[in-house]
A and B are shown apart, each in its own frame.
Chain A
Amino acid sequence: MKVIHKLFFITLLLFGYFLSAKTIIICPTCKVKSIKEGIAIAADYDTLLIKKGTYKEYNIQITKPLTLLGENYPVIDGEDKGEIITIQSNDVTIDGLFIINVGTSYTTDYAAIRVVKSENFLIQNVVLEKLFFGIYLEKSNNGRIYHNKIIGDAVDEYNSGNGIQLWYSKNIEVEKNIVQHVRDGIYLEFSDNITIKKNTSTDNLRYGLHFMFSNDDVYTDNTFENNGAGVAVMFSKRIKMNGNTFKKNWGTAAFGLLLKEITDAEIINNTFEENTIGINIEGSNRINYTNNNFIRNGWAVKVLGACYTNVFSKNNFLYNSFDISYNSKLNDNSFDQNYWSNYTGYDLDKNGIGDIPYRPVKLFSYIVNRTPETIVLLRSLFMDIIDFSEKVSPVFTPDNLMDANPLMHKRK
């Protein structure tokens, strides 16, 4: 019965579609030559089919439910004059456009596509180049941003915008987008219940992904490479971070993941590879770090004060210059059953767990925190000797900071 019901429903929908919606064709040689013209004559739920060509337009206001469908990527050139498309209606779809030359301003955030107070929108297969802000959602809910490519040319932070920005928006899916060379790849402010999946955010000036005051968000299977910092999660609660890759975020203030004032988050199955600092934690409580891989980072985890009840378990720490760094003698975080490539203990009872605890904080990391220039003495024999003496009897590092059950073999 259910199937029949569904079929019936779909047929009805199709009928409704063919009955009411018509398609308006726009091309440089057609009757309707510009998109604005097309929007003006279109009725609700119509489709504007935009054929290949260049349309020099900006300030395109979409005030009724429409579908803008591009064929073979028509170019909309804003000629640096301002905002290009503004959506101010529910049920708008934008598909397959190539938008370039968004105006740069120091007073207004011009965007290639802005969605204002609208619901049920879909923005997909759009290519944005030479932009200020890319896709800007403003108090808009229940939408989807899928498979877009945003390639900016940002040089300085102060005169560049973000790739995808969500402001006071809820229940949005951001999936399979590619964002490069902008300020923040994806930026969330006061946005809850957002799903960010399978995006690639690379070469951005500031952060690949940036959360501010946003709660209950999930981001999974994204790749963040060579950004100022991979992901910054600030002042947010209950964020789930699963299966992401943070790679090659190098520099003096570069992090794979920056956590600041975060509580009750989950960080599972992520890979942190070759970052200056894998995770930088500040004022963050009750976070579970499980099954992550930290590979060849400068500092795998750097803890800067006021971090309580964090649990690190079943992670792989492989060939990092420093595994964990603390700046105080206080420790309220626990480390259990991780694999540490620097562990030198033995396993006599053959249960796969080392018989002597591992102390991940070295004296040298404490020295480097206080006198950064000493980093040039990394891996010298003298340093190994004093690290060893600190390991035997901790004086400067928290003495309860240890992994009592270090794994003998890498967790697969």
Chain B
Amino acid sequence: MIKILKYSFYDLMRSRWSYIYFLFYLILGFVLLFLNNDVSKAVITLMNIIIILVPLIGTIFGVMYYYNSKEFTELLLAQPIKRSSIFLGQYFGVAGSLTLSLVLGLGIPFVLYGLFKSDAIFDFSLLLVTGAFLTLIFTALSFNIALSNENKIKGFGYAVLLWLFLAVIYDGIFLMSLIIFKEYPLDTFSLTATMLNPIDLSRTLILLKLDISALLGYTGAVFKQFFGTNTGLVISMVMLVLWTAIPVWRLSYKANRKDF
């Protein structure tokens, strides 16, 4: 598995895409800091980018990589290698290189601008951690979609739809249901609904740091417990890990049974 991981990783490195991705974040980080001179505003802008762009790129990249390397995968399948290690190796290769580009691309400008000296270090590392998780989650989801669809166009379509659904449509439905059922106690429902969408989940994690004063304005014991103590942070982190683990598990499960 490590060998395949390494291969996928270097393959991506050679293909320049990860450099472009890395450079994009690097430039973004510098521009943000250069224009704002204020870490708190930069962190807000970064949050928007991380919860929208990172999942999109993870999804598209994952699907693309899977379909592109399909012939090579079939070649590997003919070799005496465990199936799960082939697919997991490829997955971790892609996800790892994307995560590395993200963390280095955003990390370098912030470190150069004296992040270690400012007190925003925790907020910022939380941003990077959620960004990394989102990459892992959405790459895994897109690999799952690609594995289940032989047709490239269909696979792409589903992947983009998945992103659109989780990034925009889900929140719309969520909001509508909150407004329609506003006569009922909704705090448990709204927190659960947040947990069931990785994008909302990462947003909540960042909000815990950024807008905690507003979040504490709502009267509700469940909210207070969730946002006012460390419970929120712990639960959200556990959910993020679950969101990564389940698609990865399904990937290896599906790969073992698929008829190529």
Residues of A within 8 A of B194 (CB): 376
Contacts of A372 in B (CB 8 A): 217-220
Verify if A383 is at the interface (C-beta below 8 Å from B).
yes
- Taking CB atoms, residues of chain A closer than 8 Å to B178 are 371, 373-374, 377
Using known A-B contacts A319-B44, A377-B175, determine if residue A297 contacts B213 with beta carbons closer than 8 Å: yes
Stretch at the interface among B6-14, B79-87, B150-158, B200-208: B200-208
* Inter-chain contact A275/B213, CB cutoff 8 Å: yes
Query: How far does the alpha carbon of A383 sit from the alpha carbon of B168 in the complex, in Å?
Result: 9
**Is B246 an interface position by the 8 A CB rule?**
no
- Among A251, A370, A373, A385, the one with the most B-chain Cβ atoms within 10 Å of its Cβ is A373
Q: Which residues of B contact A335 (CB under 8 A)?
A: none
Rounded to whole Å, the gap between the CB of B194 and the closest CB of chain A is 5
B216 touches A250 (CB 8 A): yes
Q: What residues of chain B lie closer than 8 Å to A379, measured between beta carbons?
A: 44, 47-48, 203, 207, 210-211
Say yes or no: A298 contacts B215, CB within 8 Å: yes
Q: Are B204 and A298 touching (Cβ within 8 A)?
A: no
Instruction: For A248, list chain B residues within 8 Å (CB).
Output: 213
Taking each of A248, A296, A371, which has the highest tally of chain B beta carbons within 10 Å of its own beta carbon? A371
A364: nearest chain-B partner, CB-CB = B175
Interchain CB contact under 8 A, A381 and B214: no
Contact A380 B203, CB 8 Å, known A367-B179, A373-B187: yes
Q: Please, what's the 1-or-0 string for A266-304, where 1 marks a CB less than 8 Å from any CB in chain B?
A: 000000001111000000000000000000111100000
Contact A380 B213 (CB under 8 A): no
Q: Does A341 contact B (CB under 8 A)?
A: yes
- Across the interface, B214 reaches (CB within 8 A) one of A253, A375, A382, namely A375
* Nearest CB of B to A105, in Å: 32
Contact (Cβ within 8 A) A276 B40? no
Point out the residues of chain A lying under 8 angstroms from B167, CB to CB.
381
* Alpha-carbon distance between A299 and B171 when the two chains are bound, in angstroms: 22
A298 contacts B52, C-beta separation under 8 Å:
no
Q: How far is the CA of A379 from the CA of B211 in the complex (A)?
A: 10
Question: What separation, in Å, do the CA atoms of A251 and B40 have in the docked complex?
Answer: 22
User: Chain B residue with minimal CB distance to A372?
Assistant: B218
Task: Write the chain B residue with the least CB distance to A248.
Answer: B213
Does A322 reach chain B (CB closer than 8 Å)? yes
- Asked if B191 is at the interface of the complex by the 8 Å CB criterion, the answer is yes
Q: How far is the CB of A316 from chain B (nearest CB, A)?
A: 12
* A383–B171 touching, CB < 8 Å: yes
Count residues of A near B (Cβ-Cβ below 8 Å).
35
Whether A13 sits at the interface, judged by CB under 8 Å, is no
Task: Report the minimum CB–CB distance from A381 to chain B (whole Å).
Answer: 6
Residue B182 CB within 8 A of the other chain: yes
Q: How far is the CA of A383 from the CA of B175 in the complex (A)?
A: 9
Tell me if A252 counts as interface (CB < 8 A to partner B): yes
A378 is an interface residue with CB less than 8 A from chain B: yes
> Are A298 and B216 interface neighbours, CB within 8 A?
yes
Interface residues in B16-41 by Cβ distance below 8 A to A read 40-41
User: Measured between alpha carbons, how far is A374 from B51 in the docked complex, in Å?
Assistant: 18
Q: Is the CB of A252 within 8 A of B218?
A: yes
Contacts A319-B40, A373-B178, A373-B190 given; indicate if A299 touches B217 (C-beta within 8 A).
yes
A253 nearest CB across to chain B (Å): 8
Given A296-B40, A367-B179, A380-B203, are A251 and B216 neighbors across the interface (CB < 8 Å)?
yes
User: What distance in Å separates the Cβ of A258 from its nearest Cβ neighbour in chain B?
Assistant: 14
Whether, in the assembled complex, B100 has its beta carbon less than 8 Å from a beta carbon of chain A, the answer is no
Q: Is A321 on the interface with B (CB-CB < 8 A)?
A: yes
Query: Cβ of A376: which chain B residues have Cβ within 8 Å of it?
Result: 190-191, 194, 200, 204, 215
Q: Contact at A321–B171, with CB atoms within 8 Å?
A: no
Contact A375 B47 (CB under 8 A): no
* B contact residues around A377 at 8 Å (CB): 171, 174-175, 178, 200
> Are B168 and A382 in contact, CB atoms less than 8 angstroms apart?
yes
Q: Which A residues are CB-close (under 8 A) to B214?
A: 276, 297-299, 321-322, 375, 378
Pick from B40, B51, B213: contact of A298, CB under 8 Å = B213
Within 8 A of B (CB), among A144-163: none
**What 1/0 mask marks residues of chain B from 44 to 56 whose CB sits below 8 Å from any chain A CB?**
1001100110000
Q: Please measure, in the bound complex, the distance between the C-alpha atom of A167 and the C-alpha atom of B2, giving whole angstroms.
A: 78
Least CB separation from B206: chain A residue: A379
Q: Is the CB of B216 within 8 A of A276?
A: yes
Pair B217/A277 contact, Cβ less than 8 Å:
yes
Are A321 and B211 also in contact (CB < 8 A) when A296-B40, A373-B178 are?
yes
Indicate whether A341 sits within 8 Å of B207 (C-beta atoms), given known contacts A275-B213, A276-B217, A380-B171.
Answer: no
Nearest-neighbour CB distance to chain A for B225, whole angstroms, equals 13
The closest CB in chain B to the CB of A365 belongs to B214
State in angstroms the CA–CA spacing of A374 and B168 once bound together.
Answer: 15
| A319 engages B213 (CB within 8 Å) | no
A49 nearest CB across to chain B (Å): 49
Give every chain B residue within 8 A of A253 (Cβ-Cβ).
219
Inside 8 A of B182's CB, which chain A residues have their CB? 370-371, 373
Expressed in whole angstroms, the minimum distance between the Cβ of B175 and any Cβ of chain A is: 6
CB within 8 A of A252: which of B51, B171, B199, B219? B219
Interface pairs A-B: 3 shortest CB-CB: A298-B214, A382-B171, A321-B214
A-B contact pairs, 6 of them (CB 8 A): A248-B213, A252-B216, A252-B218, A370-B182, A378-B214, A383-B171
Chain B residues in contact with chain A, CB under 8 A? 40-41, 44, 47-48, 51-52, 167-169, 171-172, 174-175, 178-179, 182, 186-187, 189-191, 194, 199-200, 203-204, 207, 210-220, 224
Binding site for B on A (CB under 8 A): 248, 250-254, 274-277, 296-299, 319, 321-322, 341, 367, 370-385
Other A-B pairs beyond A371-B178, A371-B179, A374-B190, 10, CB < 8 Å: A298-B214, A298-B216, A319-B40, A374-B179, A376-B204, A378-B211, A379-B47, A379-B211, A380-B171, A381-B168
